[in-house]
Structures are given as structure tokens and as C-alpha cells.
Amino acid sequence: MIAWLGTGLLGSGFVHALLERGETVRVWNRSIDKARALEAGGATAVADAAEAVRGAARVHVCLSDDRAVDEVLEAARPGLAKGQIIVDHTTTSPAGAAERVTRWAERGMRFQHAPVFMGPQNAREASGFMLASGDKGLYDELAPALSKMTGRLLYFGPIPERAAGMKLLGNLFLVSMVAGATDVLALGKAMGIPAGDVAGLFESFNPGAQLPARMKRMLDADFAHPSWNLAMARKDTRLMMEAADRGGVPLKFIPAAAAEMDRYLAAGHSADDWTVISSAVVK
């Protein structure tokens, strides 16, 4: 029997998939109605977290943040037995993940942090990415079961909090991408280009494909052989901001990038590749 604590959108997707694979699943949620909604698919809803985890082969946790994970696991603690495995899929702080591995080990339990790059449909379809790090023996024991829950299971080594850090890095890029897309749509609006046409550009032009090469240049500090020098990149950001201002739809995120470019221009980097703005963090 598998216990699942937290049946929001993502947690419910995972539970549906487990049930469809023939697993026996006991579910708990602070709002019991969300747990009971899964009974139609074969889950057993339990109102008490400690009762939900009692006797479970694995306890999966899928909650909102560090505080929620700690509160719920403390509530479940009376039902946990020595040697029981806890798998936490919550996006948490790296420090919190490391502390929980240590804390639950001291209590005789085994704790695996396994955050995901997945939405509810990914969880239902077992697609997307699941991350893990920490004790290799525990990871190897769990890998067959976790692999069935995701498209790809990625192990990042023995440091317990490394998966939590990788999850934050991935989410930072997603936030940055949406922030950039927001300015793209704003500039399109300012220039009178319909949003659908703006979106259509990226059906053919995929700038994300350039990321590995850009990242390699940054890590290699290869700034002296520019493909787009800083002066030209800064000129283009000026054109963007001027066009947006003329259209009455000022950009929100590009001005911050332009300010950082100005700092490097003032330091004499105009002829360097524009990725030189990363130099302070890759040394």
C-alpha cells in the first residue's frame, strides 16, 4: 500500500496514475473533500495523516512549501515506523530538504526528496521530469518505482539538497522565460503587431535551442570572440525600449537587463560578446 499526503492538482494526477497501474493507495489532504474525490478511482481517503501512513510501503508527499511539509509530516509521525520511506515531491528550499533528510534519519526513517518538472497532466501520463539526489542506495531502491511515475528520472549525486537546488534553477529559467515573453508581447502591442502574429514567430524561431551554446560560452568565458557584441546588444535594447515607449506600453524586464549592460559597457566591455554580463557569476 502507498500513502499519499497532499491531493491538490499535482498530487491527484499522481494518485490517478498509481491507481490506473493497479496500486493500492491511501490518500490524505487537509481538505478531506479533495481526498474523497479520489475514492471513485479506487483510493481510500483517510481524515487522519497518521492513520494514512500507517503500514505504507512508501509515503509520498506533495504539498505547497517547507512549512507545509514539516507540519504534515509531524502530524503523520505517530503512524510512521522505523525504516519507512518518505518521498517528498514538493518544491522546497535546499536547506529545508537537507534538514529533513537529517531529521528523519535521526528518527529512523529514510527520506528522499524528488521534486518534479511536471504539471497535473504529466503526473497522470507519467511524462516530464523527476529529480533526485542523496543517498545512492536509497535512490537505487526507489528508482524502479519512481521511474514509472515520470518520463525521465534524473539523479544529481549524493548531496541531499542538490535536487532541490536544481528544481529552483529550472523554475528560475521558466520564470525568466515568461517574463521575457511578457516584454515580447508588450513590444508587439506597442508596435501594432497582433499577439497571434507575435506568437507565430516562435513557431519557426526557437531561441531556446541556443541555450546550450550560450551556456557553454559563458562557462568557458569565451567573450573575446563575439557573435553579438555588447554594444550592439545594448543598441537593440535601446531600440526596443524606445519603440515600446512610443507605443505607450513600456517594457518591465528589459530595462533591468539594459542597466546591467550599461554597467559592463562602462567597464570597457563594448567589443566583448554580450554574454560577458555573466562573467561575475561564473568565475
Per the listing, cell 546588444 goes with 233
Question: Which residues, in sequence order, are CB contacts of 184 under 8 Å at separation 6+?
Answer: 198
Which pLDDT value is given to residue 128?
96
In which residue ranges of the chain is pLDDT below 50? none
CB 129 within 8 A of CB 149: no
What's the CATH superfamily of 2-159?
A: NAD(P)-binding Rossmann-like Domain (3.40.50.720)
In this prediction, residue 283 carries a pLDDT of 74
Which residues make up the CATH 1.10.1040.10 domain(s) of the chain?
166-282
pTM (2 d.p.): 0.94
Cell of 245: 515607449
C-beta atoms surrounding 224 within 10 Å: 9
CA angle 114/211/122 to nearest 5° reads: 35
**Which residues are CB-neighbours of 77 under 8 A, at least 6 positions away?**
50, 107
- Specify the pLDDT at position 253: 97
The reported pLDDT for the residue numbered 25 is: 98
Question: pLDDT digits over 31-83, tens only?
Answer: 999 999 999 999 999 999 999 999 999 999 999 999 999 999 999 999 999 99
> Where along the chain do the CATH 3.40.50.720 domains lie?
2-159
CATH class for the region spanning 166-282: mainly alpha
- Contact between 105 and 111 under an 8 Å Cβ cutoff? The reply is yes
